[in-house]
Chain A
Amino acid sequence: NAGVTQTPKFQVLKTGQSMTLQCAQDMNHEYMSWYRQDPGMGLRLIHYSVGAGITDQGEVPNGYNVSRSTTEDFPLRLLSAAPSQTSVYFCASLTAGGPEAFFGQGTRLTVV
């Protein structure tokens, strides 16, 4: 049972490039979320999904898109990378009844 798998683990982008961070879970969880973590701060919610075909914005959605075509996958797309998007990104999944969220290992993204 792999849990929540994120790829890649590390990525360097140039300003203006686009890319997709992948997230997959094998626990059949309804809920999935993306967070970013910056130095000295807690995790902040970017986007979330309550099920396939349903997504919504979190606290800091600007510059990111998501889609949820299957229960298992929840990719995060950076449309035009900016240095302010340099961060560590975490994907999480949990059942609708909560409360335990399972997090991936994170993707460290640097935008230069």
Chain B
Amino acid sequence: GESVGLHLPTLSVQEGDNSIINCAYSNSASDYFIWYKQESGKGPQFIIDIRSNMDKRQGQRVTVLLNKTVKHLSLQIAATQPGDSAVYFCAEIETYNFNKFYFGSGTKLNVKP
């Protein structure tokens, strides 16, 4: 199968540059946020998560920032590589109910060599 990508916002970056992917969420009761990466023809893959009592969390080459005041989440990817080309989704979870993920519509990241 193919990943969703027909009408998604697209971010194009040069290889080696940093990427910032943004996500607005709507539910102020959400207390867990997760970023997923979906490559063409594959299922989503977990990247990083952040709890609502945090405003920043770092992983390997990725940083997630959470601004609860404006209900905004961002994913920063350092030194973007061609393998980072994919669709990125944020997901929110309410009351730590990990049964129910509410996904955003996604952003397509194109990395130019």
Binding site for B on A (CB under 8 A): 4, 9-10, 31, 33, 35, 37-45, 48, 50, 56, 58, 88, 90, 92, 94, 96-108
Contact = CB atoms under 8 A, between A and B. Distances in A.
A105 B2 CA distance: 10
Given A39-B6, A41-B105, A88-B1, A105 B100 contact: no
30 contacts: A33-B101, A38-B4, A39-B4, A39-B6, A40-B4, A40-B7, A40-B8, A43-B89, A43-B103, A45-B101, A48-B99, A50-B99, A58-B100, A88-B1, A88-B4, A90-B43, A90-B44, A94-B98, A98-B32, A99-B34, A99-B46, A99-B49, A99-B98, A101-B98, A101-B101, A103-B44, A104-B43, A105-B42, A106-B42, A106-B43
A92 B34 CA distance: 15
A33 B99 contact: yes
B75 interface: no
Interface of B is mostly: loop
Contacts of B41: 105-106
B6 A40 contact: yes
